[in-house]
Chain A
């Protein structure tokens, strides 16, 4: 059906409310400004803040856009004088009990109260009354702190806990202007998704302990990326300043993560700048001790050792244990490496853990589906063949292989002639690897990842590692070059790799780096 908003016509779906309909067509706050506090696209309609009032022709009273169903031919005005004055009224009343200390508030810069007050409010509330007494810095649980004086009682946080994780830890107690957000004694806000309440809180009332007062948000650059905590591939913005990632916040993608992140995933940004990053290449000396070497030396040594294995045992004795943390492009290079050298010894290991019905997937890596799509099988076969002596040179990406169910196979890794480790973080594998090459995190490189449902999504460098490191693909490419393998003559270029992937693997058709839309796209043949 058609509605018109400020004279512009939109084709919208029946059965939606005005805000929902405008959100569906992507113009809400992006062409059509209807400020709103309590409404959130992924939560039930509350209708209480009354900020979203608009004028509907033929209806005498202002109507709240969040709860008013659209009707054929409905004519809506969002900027009329009456609407503006209603907004001003709501803003003034809200600011009454709200401290005007944005400069010291952690939400400053991404506060809807601050924004709207600037646009619609008077700068100072006209009252001399003391604001009501409020609780400050209440610990709601392990992740979240609550400042009552900033709370505007939009109940988004309450609805979130009830409707999304279903844990319902938060509630509004009492009534009238004594209303206050509370938890039940002994039942703190603690669930796998608790930190989302800080994102959806339109003001600075709920903040995460992790990010609180770390850095002013306006210093942060928001770089789109993907969480690598599990196979769901939730879309994030990486908050970056000074070549450091300070946080992940959810990036809305209705096909993947709605507007949410799980807490472990959200905190997994810490892995990027972690102290246990492998920050130098190493070679094992005669005593079995890893010794730091320049990166080129490690690549050369890896190639040299592989060459020897090929010479003595044949190309078939070279194996590749790839990582589901690597990108599709990295894995495609791995595929070509195997083909070029003439081996079929390959597999991937992925750590499994707890999943749920919401976002969290059992596979704790972002690209196991990519590995499968590129023909890699579970590592069990490769490991048993390695133990049996069929593989003598093994390139291992990452250390997922140390976890169950592969852990028993460690002896297989210990017995090979050559173990080349390409990894981001330190692990016991370093001590048995002959060559160690530091690699880039997904937040440090170009590429795509395929989530559990076969959705291909792009990552890009948000930060530069403070040490020399290569992507897994580039490391293999350089080893291949050193080995003189055919097809690796050009210098490594991830875009070229990505084009080749899209051209040669049907599932990835049309999914090269520059063609993948910001919210991703399904593998050919994967349902969306």
Chain B
């Protein structure tokens, strides 16, 4: 089991307590009361509106309004509707969903039941990345407990509402985190994202109306139902309410998880909470939200961690995976790791993505070897431009953005490689 966060708030307050992962422990902390309230005192529309009012934004990376997404589900009950809980967490630098699965599975399940009530879904598929075999086991035990206690199944809490939860394990493919790649994978196929239209709310899992939400997104929901929108908005910024769990990794004193309000400044997270750089080192740059998000140089860390502010600096909150890079590290090597990852994980359907990810990696490698030219640097940017905004899913954008970010703020590293034919950072990690 993963270490509980160093700083906690409502999501992770009790995560350090092993019993919290059990039904008894969760109930002892007031668990499942929010679901009872929703199912017995609120109409589905009430719940949708409540979540809308709270302004909860999805925590899976795109930040879409959760209440709004739920309202897209067709009202008609002529065919089954499904929820999908996205527990694929594969964005490099992200490890918060694992914590919520391992240490607070009932919190997420309660959010799922509330979401199911709001959308009229009869079944939820929790798609857990293949490597999370142990978190999936913990979750399955929690689900079994819920069935035994009538919190899931044909008659949830005696209300007559029926809901089932199925755990599906992925098998090692980052793209299955993209919601339609996930749906394909759930249907037993290659996880290749679907072209849109149709959209999942009309034609989702197994052809039925479907809503996909992230593990953390569901986990916020019971708190909103219990405490109301005003309470929720007491955390975070005006436009980005609530907390999130930042995962800090890389070259800092105290890597780990930190549940903090959205809008907490990045420099506060890096220097205060995570203790700043290792002895004798200086922070050079920070990737603020998982590998897909463009890096910020140390001079720009005075930014509140919320999309409305991060966008001004041409980056985004993403999954809140904060990766800290210090002055020992060559950004060309970082680019090598980044481009290798996206080349490895492209599903390979779209021309620009399949060919572009391969090309980016090859060129970066060549620059790293010292065999690149200045023109190569421009070609990198040109290829990024060709990949952006033109593909079936946002993966190609996600592959282009970090390269653009590195070149925006650390072009000098690339130029040094090109000029001197070798890496100017003797201490940098080797490839």
Q: Is the CB of A93 within 8 A of B359?
A: yes
B351-A61 in contact (CB<8A) = no
Q: Is B392 an interface residue (CB 8 A)?
A: yes
Residue of A126, A129, A177 touching B346 (CB-CB under 8 A)? A177
Min CB gap B277→A, angstroms: 35
B392 contact from A48, A93, A96, A174, Cβ within 8 A: A48
> Are B362 and A172 in touch, CB under 8 angstroms?
no
What is the bound-complex CA distance between A50 and B193, given in angstroms? Answer: 14
Are B362 and A175 interface neighbours, CB within 8 A?
A: no
Stretch in A62-70, A348-356, A370-378, A439-447 with 4+ CB within 8 Å of B: A62-70
Q: In whole Å, how far is A86's beta carbon from the nearest beta carbon of chain B?
A: 6
Q: Does B130 contact A (CB under 8 A)?
A: no
Other-chain contact of A96, B190, B355, B389 (Cβ < 8 Å): B355
B369-411 toward A: CB 8 Å interface, digit per residue (1/0)? 0000001000100010110011110000000000000000000
B195 touches A127 (CB 8 A): no
B197 touches A67 (CB 8 A): yes
Contact among A46, A93, A128, A172 with B352 in the assembled complex (CB-CB below 8 Å): A93
Which of chain B's residues have a CB closer than 8 A to the CB of A127?
A: 359, 362-363, 379
Contacts A96-B359, A132-B358; A89 near B352 (Cβ below 8 A): yes
CA distance A45 to B359 in the complex (A): 27
**Cβ-based interface call for A90 (8 A):** yes
Whether A90 pairs with B352 at a CB distance below 8 angstroms is: yes
Nearest A residue to B175 by beta-carbon distance?
Answer: A175
- Contact across chains for A129 and B363 when beta carbons are under 8 A apart: yes
Cα A457 to Cα B147 with chains together (Å): 68
How many residues belonging to A are interface residues under a CB distance threshold of 8 Å? 35
B180-209 interface (Cβ within 8 A of A)? 190, 195, 197
User: Shortest beta-carbon distance, A151 to chain B, in Å?
Assistant: 11
Point out the residue from A46, A94, A132, A172 that lies within 8 Å of B348, measured CB to CB: A172
CB contacts (< 8 Å) of B358 on chain A: these are 96-97, 132, 176-177
Are B348 and A177 within 8 A (Cβ)? yes
Is the C-beta of B354 less than 8 angstroms from some C-beta in chain A? Answer: yes
Bound: A178/B357 CA distance, A: 11
Does the CB pair B363–A93 fall under 8 Å? Answer: no
Q: Which of B314-349 contact A (CB under 8 A)?
A: 343-349
Chain B nearest Cβ from A392, distance in angstroms: 70
Contact A93 B355 (CB under 8 A): yes
Interface string of B130-174 (1 = CB under 8 A from A): 000000000000000000000000000000000000000000010
As a 0/1 sequence over residues 382 to 407 of chain A, the CB contacts with chain B under 8 angstroms (1 = contact) are: 00000000000000000000000000
Q: How far is the CB of A54 from chain B (nearest CB, A)?
A: 12
Question: Complex formed: what's the CA distance from A92 to B357 in Å?
Answer: 14
Cα distance, A177 to B358, chains bound together (Å): 6
Please tell me if B68 contacts chain A, counting CB pairs below 8 Å.
no
Given contacts A50-B351, A93-B352, A175-B190, contact A129 B392 (CB under 8 A): no
Is A49 located at the chain interface by the 8 A CB criterion? yes
**In this assembly, does A194 line the interface, its C-beta being within 8 Å of a C-beta of chain B?**
no
Given known A-B contacts A89-B352, A93-B351, A94-B355, A176 and B392 have beta carbons under 8 A apart: no
A-chain residues with CB within 8 Å of residue B349 when the two chains form the complex: 46, 48, 153
Q: In the complex, which residues of chain A have a beta carbon less than 8 angstroms from the beta carbon of B366?
A: 128-129
* A-chain residues with CB within 8 Å of residue B390 when the two chains form the complex: 50, 53, 61-62, 86, 89
Known A-B contacts A50-B350, A177-B354; A67 and B195 likewise in contact (beta carbons under 8 Å): yes
In the complex, how many angstroms separate the beta carbon of B46 from the nearest chain A beta carbon? 34
Given A92-B386, A129-B359, also A153-B391 (CB < 8 A): no
Distance in angstroms between the alpha carbons of A347 and B354 in the assembled complex: 62
Distance to closest chain A CB from B357 (angstroms): 7
Bound Cα distance A47, B349 (Å): 9
Asked if A51 is at the interface (CB within 8 A of a chain B CB), the reply is: yes
A179 CB–B CB distance under 8 Å? yes
What number of A-B contacts does a CB cutoff of 8 Å give? 97
Report the bound CA distance from A177 to B190 in whole Å.
15
- A175 B347 Cβ-Cβ under 8 A: yes
The answer on a CB contact under 8 Å between A93 and B386 is: yes
Mark each residue of chain B from 246 to 263: 1 if its CB lies under 8 Å from any CB of chain A, else 0.
Answer: 000000000000000000
Measured in the bound complex, the distance between the Cα atoms of B287 and A478 in whole Å is 91
Q: Mask for B284-322, Cβ within 8 A of A = 1, else 0? A: 000000000000000000000000000000000000000
Q: Across the interface, name the chain B residue whose C-beta is closest to A51.
A: B351
Chain A residues near B359 (CB-CB < 8 A):
93, 96, 127, 129
CB pair A152 B346 closer than 8 Å: no
Tell me if B356 counts as interface (CB < 8 A to partner A).
Answer: yes
**Do A94 and B347 form a contact, CB below 8 Å, given A67-B197, A127-B363?**
no
The answer to whether B391 and A50 touch across the interface, beta carbons within 8 angstroms, is yes
- The answer for the CA separation of A197 and B404 in the assembled complex, in Å, is 40
Q: Could you tell me which residues of chain A, from 123 to 153, have a CB within 8 Å of some CB in chain B?
A: 126-129, 132, 152-153
B392 to chain A, nearest CB (A): 6
Asked if A48 meets B343 with Cβ closer than 8 Å, knowing A64-B195, A177-B357, the reply is no
Known: A129-B359, A132-B358. A48 touches B351 (CB 8 A): yes
Q: Which residue on chain B has the smallest CB distance to residue A66?
A: B195
- Which residues of chain B come closer than 8 Å to A153, judged between CB atoms? 348-349, 351, 354
> B196 — nearest CB in chain A belongs to which residue?
A67
A90 touches B345 (CB 8 A): no
Query: CB distance B356 to A179 under 8 Å?
Result: no
CA A94 – CA B379 in complex, angstroms?
A: 15
Within 8 A of B (CB), among A173-215: 174-179
Residue on B nearest A89 in the bound complex, by CB: B386
Q: What are 29 A-B contacts defined by CB distance under 8 Å? A: A46-B195, A48-B392, A50-B390, A50-B391, A50-B392, A51-B351, A61-B390, A64-B195, A67-B197, A86-B390, A89-B385, A90-B386, A92-B386, A93-B351, A93-B352, A93-B355, A93-B359, A127-B359, A127-B362, A129-B363, A152-B351, A175-B347, A176-B343, A176-B344, A176-B345, A177-B343, A177-B346, A177-B354, A177-B358
Which residues of B are interface residues toward A (Cβ below 8 A)?
Answer: 173, 175, 190, 195, 197, 343-352, 354-359, 362-363, 366, 375, 379, 383, 385-386, 389-392
| 9 nearest A-B residue pairs (beta carbon) | A89-B386, A47-B195, A177-B358, A93-B355, A179-B348, A176-B346, A48-B349, A129-B362, A176-B348
Supply 4 further A-B pairs (C-beta < 8 A) apart from A50-B391, A175-B190, A175-B348.
A45-B195, A93-B355, A153-B351, A176-B348
